[in-house]
Structure 1
């Protein structure tokens, strides 16, 4: 029920042109259409953090950790997931209930 509610909150907070996918047990992938500025992405991700954690789900305090990437260069899907995964584990390892954005264009 918690995962279902998290999914509902994500779906309600993204645009119709964005795509949200349940990727695994407790992981989701969200593809934001036309969100190319790091600051705009940071604002959107912080909104998601608040939407999930502000109200209890099934009497539980639920938080999320977010890993994201932004790139001005073309990349294949495998590279994209590696970048997002690195950022996710940074969020988890440095306090949780936060977002980390990996800037792929700075790594090359």
Structure 2
């Protein structure tokens, strides 16, 4: 079943709301997001770069790292009261107007 961003935001909020600690501070979440992006970079380097994994390194995946980044992004947005659907719509409007002629379009035949 496909989920909307709003559904994902509510699901994450239900999860976080069961804990007394609640959401981390914005600065802590930014640090956590940076950590997750670093873990994604490591996985991409192992999969597409010149640095293979050591035999002792645990198995991980780009998919899981992207999932971690999505989770912390949703936490960050929720903690600040940001509607990610609205944020997405604003960003797409920006790309569709400001960058409308920036890239070479594919032929539509």
Normalization by structure 1: what TM-score? Answer: 0.28
Structure possessing the higher relative contact order (Cα contacts under 8 Å, 6 or more residues apart): 2
- Give 1 or 2: higher strand fraction: 1
